[in-house]
Chains A and B, each alone.
Chain A
């Protein structure tokens, strides 16, 4: 149950600050240890995928970073602060199944809520603050390429269009860290790649660190900086080439795992044992 240390590649140039650091962290839910002795760091501006089988605790890690779940052991810091204190600097997109077609909320209003949804009282129409808000919403909607359909009811948009608007909502307050829980889940392959390219673009453009929970690494592989792989009650972190190998994953799972590389560069993980609670992923 230990994390396998993979040394970070020494990077040339200026040293990057740490966005998220977990040190020997453990999470227990309902008496069950989800993962323990996890030590990972995410640098500012990095695009990191959180991978692993169902029930390995990928969403749990996101919730812990948000400060919604307490650690059972170890430490977790976000930009040097404890998890709960960094809320204002985090944009979050939870795991979801999309808005149904009856949801009559416009995309722009949803993005706007990311900006002022937690403010009490009523806005003064036409005030300078209100105009600044509207400008920021338009800017971020433009950044995700959703200007063409942001004024339609969100329920009538496709999954990929909804996902772009939701990413805009998470981005609107200029967070330094973006937590995306399975944003590619309900999308077809071209859309998965398009959203991954968008996230890469955001990382570079806005200098935001991104943690993206995903099931399949292949559509996003070419856009990633690093990978956190959760399995067997532990975690391993490194570049995709370091982590997605037969040796590293076998060590993590504690069982023989084979990683095959297809001729088109796609990775296939073989022999991956299913976690004991396959349906527990929704809570874990």
Chain B
């Protein structure tokens, strides 16, 4: 009777269960916040994966952690720490990418920055002896304790991020796949690189307050990576990335509500499962001598 123990609240009647999901304000807020985060992460994540900046994105989400810890230590609002550290992190990462000695030197520099960020985070947490109730909530978020005001702020930040990416979509795409030609064609490649990291930092800073520093990364990278596997059409890819992020977020929230396990576990496992499924499926498809089946004509 493992299922009964894990999903204690499930009545196993879909209608009743669905109705119950929307019965509590905290759950409605969580679903709204999750939806907003999923759309933003789907869009920015698609570009992050395209630009092969997954490691940089991960580092930004790790940097959010010492940011929050430092803010608690200094008695400032957590948001100040998140935005301050993620903004600084984005500038530092753009500097590393801009110097571009070589790809290996770049990833080594980013890795060092990430290690420092983690060490600082733990230092601040141990310096702060008060009621910092948890490393847990800094890392994994407080998805089920979201207020309506937070949803409003989240919506504003997400709208700004998605709008900025939309305005820069084509030059950013150009600069990502073909920087030399883009530069010759008058695209401000370096400026776009910095701008994109700042938008990524903004998204990470805002979402990690709710989903935690680790979960935001799962939403940024996995649905986008799956979408890139499924299609090489840009518009379709972004739409798929958003759709996948939405599906795993909604399912993850619903499963977490009825079970004893946290939201983060379900969202990450579901998206990872999808990714593996698609990769394996593509492997079979290409072996079945139909390599272009998903590309369309």
User: Which A residues have a C-beta under 8 Å from some C-beta of B?
Assistant: 66, 68, 87, 90, 92-94, 96, 103-106, 109-110, 113-114, 116-123, 151-153, 156, 169-170
Contacts and interface: CB of A to CB of B under 8 A. Distances in A.
Contacts of A90: 184
Which 6 residue pairs of A and B lie closest in terms of their CB atoms, listed nearest first?
A: A117-B174, A104-B232, A94-B180, A92-B184, A113-B174, A153-B232
B292 A113 contact: no
Main secondary structure, interface of B, reads helix
A116 B181 CA distance: 13
A153 B295 contact: yes
A68 B183 CA distance: 9
B234 interface: yes
Contacts of B166: 121-122
Interface in B169-211: 169-171, 173-174, 177-178, 180-187
Contacts of B285: none
B14 interface: no
Contacts of B168: 120
A205 B173 CA distance: 31
A104 B185 contact: no
B292 A152 contact: yes
Contacts of B178: 110, 113, 117
B174 A122 contact: no
Given A117-B171, A121-B166, 15 more contacts: A87-B184, A94-B181, A103-B177, A105-B232, A106-B233, A109-B232, A110-B178, A113-B177, A113-B182, A118-B174, A120-B171, A122-B170, A151-B295, A152-B292, A152-B295
A87 B178 CA distance: 17
A228 B174 CA distance: 32
Interface in B251-297: 291-292, 295-297
B184 A109 contact: no
A120 B167 contact: yes
Nearest to B286: A156
A274 B6 CA distance: 74
B28 to A, nearest CB: 31
B228 interface: yes
Contact of A118 (B185, B234, B296): B185
Contacts of B297: 151
A187 to B, nearest CB: 19
B180 A96 contact: yes
A93 B182 CA distance: 10
Given A151-B296, A152-B292, A118 B186 contact: yes
Contact of A105 (B177, B183, B291, B296): B177
11 contacts: A109-B232, A109-B233, A110-B177, A113-B181, A117-B174, A118-B182, A119-B171, A120-B171, A122-B169, A123-B170, A156-B291
A17 B174 CA distance: 33
A117 to B, nearest CB: 3
A92 B170 contact: no
A103 B180 CA distance: 16
Interface in B58-84: none
Contacts of A118: 170-171, 174, 182, 185-187
A117 B170 CA distance: 5
Given A96-B180, A106-B295, A110-B178, A119 B170 contact: yes
Contacts of A122: 166-167, 169-170
A269 B187 CA distance: 41
A170 B184 CA distance: 11
Contacts of B234: 109
A119 B171 CA distance: 6
Contacts of A110: 177-178
Contacts of A96: 180
A152 B169 CA distance: 22
Nearest to A99: B177
Nearest to B235: A125
A119 B182 CA distance: 11
Contacts of B291: 156
Contacts of A104: 228, 232
Contacts of B177: 103, 105, 110, 113
A106 B291 CA distance: 14
Contacts of B167: 120-122
Contacts of A117: 170-171, 173-174, 178, 182, 185, 187
A69 to B, nearest CB: 12
A120 B170 contact: yes
Nearest to B176: A105
A113 B173 contact: yes
Contacts of B185: 87, 92, 114, 117-118
Nearest to A109: B234
Contact of B181 (A123, A156, A169): A169
